[in-house]
Amino acid sequence: MKHIFLNLKRFDIPKELGGVNTIAPIGQWGSYIVEHTQEQLKKYNGDEVEFAMYFPEAHLIPAVSALCEDSPVKVGCQGVYRDDTAVGGNFGAFTTNRTANAVKAMGCVTTIIGHCEERRDKAGILAEAGVSDTAAVNRLLNKEIQAAVKAGLSVLYCIGETSEEQERWQEVLREQLETGLAGVDREKITIAYEPVWAIGPGKVPPDKEYITKIGSFVKEVTGGMDVVYGGGLKTDNAEMLASVPVMDGGLIALTRFSGEIGYYPEEYLEIIRTYMGK
């Protein structure tokens, strides 16, 4: 099966506050995105491709409420806490932390964990505490994955190497995979490879050969788990990525990178048409 993931990050912030949102008022942003994509996505065979969208927390309930009957859209959140509520246990003393049971109750069915931005944040906090153990971030992410799967959520688990780590990419990715996936049900998990060293303005993205090498490595280490390209599925690389046999889809974020940059539903649908070939 192919997987098309959409990470909407903080694209809900209006331009006058430094964001990129121009598509809808803040209160309607989540529902607008679902309503302007789900009918068009119905033309694709649900047994051949899945569509998951990861929303900032404030928009989860409006997004779920906008789902039509037989909607192909799976609404997801952007990460979960490493602990959770339990019958007869902690009833919810998790101020500021988003638990898997909380988002499950909102209607989420999936979550993204380990995105390079989350990894960078956790590494920064650990560094402030004087922790230099590089596996510590992966252990924390493993707890998040376990909490998500226990709550019944599927997981998009992101891995990737920075420019400083690129020479030893095999070691870095293997640690992220083996530690992050330790003791979890892999049937509920898809891997996203983010070439962190290539993300950002002026950076040169990896070519087909490099992406194929990484996809093959991930499948070898994980025993054949599905892996998608997380460096940004775009109109200009969709055909190339679709031609890489070891890649099972892609992660979309921004759809427009110049002018009125941001996420636009019609451009999201065009990326999918290009990738799927219809």
189-193 and 49-55 strand pairing: unpaired
d(CA 111, CA 199): 22
d(CA 73, CA 53): 7
d(CA 15, CA 22): 7
Q: Report the candidate in 42, 41, 24 with the shortest Cα–Cα distance to residue 33.
A: 24
The single residue of 50, 115, 118, 144 carrying the catalytic annotation is: 115
Active site residue 171: no
Active site residue 36: no
Residues 50/5, Cβ–Cβ less than 8 Å: no
What 3-state class would DSSP assign to 30? helix
Half-sphere exposure of 229 (CA within 13 A, CB side): 29
Residue 58: Cβ within 10 Å count:
12
Q: Distance of CA 239 to CAs 86, 219, 256, 265, 277, Å?
A: 46, 21, 17, 19, 8
User: What residues act catalytically?
Assistant: 115, 194
